[in-house]
Amino acid sequence: MPGKVEQLSINYKTLERFKHFKEYGNQELSMLEDLESNIMENYVDSPFYGIYFGDNLIARMSLYKIRAKYDYYFEPPQDYLTLWKLEVLPEYQEKGYGKKLVDFAKGYGLPIKTNPRINSHSFWEKMGFQKAQYDMERDLGENPLIWLPEGVNEQESN
Amino acid sequence: MPGKVEQLSINYKTLERFKHFKEYGNQELSMLEDLESNIMENYVDSPFYGIYFGDNLIARMSLYKIRAKYDYYFEPPQDYLTLWKLEVLPEYQEKGYGKKLVDFAKGYGLPIKTNPRINSHSFWEKMGFQKAQYDMERDLGENPLIWLPEGVNEQESN
């Protein structure tokens, strides 16, 4: 099975590849603008991780560490990862690439929060994620799912 | 044209109607659990607004006021509305119901932030919304769009 997970450098080539993913949005447009105005070149510490198949980027996710100070999900409060834009191109789905990305994220040993797209709940359940207790003030338009490493609990909602 | 916008009481009947909308998620499941455990009955100050056509709920949105203290979008910082789950049932689309809901929200005279679903950008543009400058720490997996009433500006991102 090809493809190890790698951190993606943000450059024109990567952004061009991102256009093949459905969840292309303001984040990518903003990176493109930054490149165009030379604010950053090869934004090395990119939040994107992906899997290549030959020269094609076939799967990606965005992964970002939130500091303990802003942790409203886990007990004890701690640094955690927020994962979004997990997506595998249609012709490469059902081959384990999504799991590979999620396993990569779990490898940090930190709790993870994601806000999945509709209809992807069964995937997240297989990955061991559970619904967070919905707290309207905190979650608003989100459907938060969380993954708890050993010894970590969910915060009691108020 | 039928249908005025009304605040929806949260009861079993409303939650049953919500199942017809694609964006049915943790928020609704949580409300259902609360009802089942009698934590709230007819949660009157519901964040949901909708339009009925006869006895059918054909359009809805969630609308919630965020206090100025948490305003990271507008200048001067002020109370604003966050709007999500705007959705019109397929057979009632393109008839102005979405606009009716958005106009209702604008009627409060407060700035509005939304995080639209993919492919709905042209609708939001017609409604006078603009892309917020993407700030990764603030926006993470979102594609924030904002609406500015007269005299309100966007905050400079840092």
- Chain B residues whose CB is inside 8 A of the A143 CB are 25-27
- Out of A132, A139, A141, name the one closest to residue B115 (CB): A141
- Out of B22, B23, B134, name the one closest to residue A26 (CB): B134
> How far apart are the C-alpha atoms of B143 and B131, rounded to whole Å?
8
Q: Would you state the pLDDT for residue B78? A: 97
**Are β-strands B145-147 and B112-114 bridged in parallel, bridged antiparallel, or unpaired?**
antiparallel
**Percent with pLDDT over 70 in chain A:** 93
- Chain A residues whose CB is inside 8 A of the B84 CB are 140-141
Average pLDDT value for residue range A13-36: 89
Q: Would you state the pLDDT for residue B26? A: 87
Average pLDDT value for residue range A77-104: 96
**Are β-strands B80-88 and B112-114 bridged in parallel, bridged antiparallel, or unpaired?**
parallel
Q: Would you state the pLDDT for residue A37? A: 79
**Tens of pLDDT, residues B102-157:** 999 999 999 999 998 777 889 999 999 999 999 988 998 899 999 999 999 999 86
Average pLDDT value for residue range A94-100: 96
Q: Is the bond into A111 cis (omega within 30 degrees of 0)?
A: no
**Tens of pLDDT, residues A50-69:** 999 998 999 999 999 999 99
Cβ–Cβ below 8 Å for B30 and A144? no
**Tens of pLDDT, residues B48-105:** 999 999 989 999 999 999 999 999 999 999 999 999 999 999 999 999 999 999 999 9
Q: Would you state the pLDDT for residue A158? A: 56
Count the Cβ atoms, other than its own, within 10 Å of residue A134.
21
Cβ–Cβ below 8 Å for A132 and B26? yes
Q: Is B136 on the interface with A (CB under 8 A)?
A: yes
Instruction: Find the range with the poorest average confidence among A1-5, B10-14, B61-65.
Output: A1-5
Q: Is A25 on the interface with B (CB under 8 A)?
A: yes
Q: Is A22 on the interface with B (CB under 8 A)?
A: yes
Please check whether residue A98 is in contact with residue A111, taking contact to mean a CB–CB distance below 8 angstroms.
no
Q: Would you state the pLDDT for residue B113? A: 97
Residues 79-98 of B with CB under 8 A from A: 82, 84-85
> How far apart are the C-alpha atoms of A5 and A59, rounded to whole Å?
9
Q: Would you state the pLDDT for residue B119? A: 74
Nearest Cα residue to B28 out of B44, B50, B12:
B12
Burial of B56 (0-12, 13-18, 19+ CB in 10 A): middle
Q: Would you state the pLDDT for residue B39? A: 65
- Chain A residues whose CB is inside 8 A of the B115 CB are 141
ipTM: 0.81
Average pLDDT along chain A? 90
> How far apart are the C-alpha atoms of A68 and A3, rounded to whole Å?
32
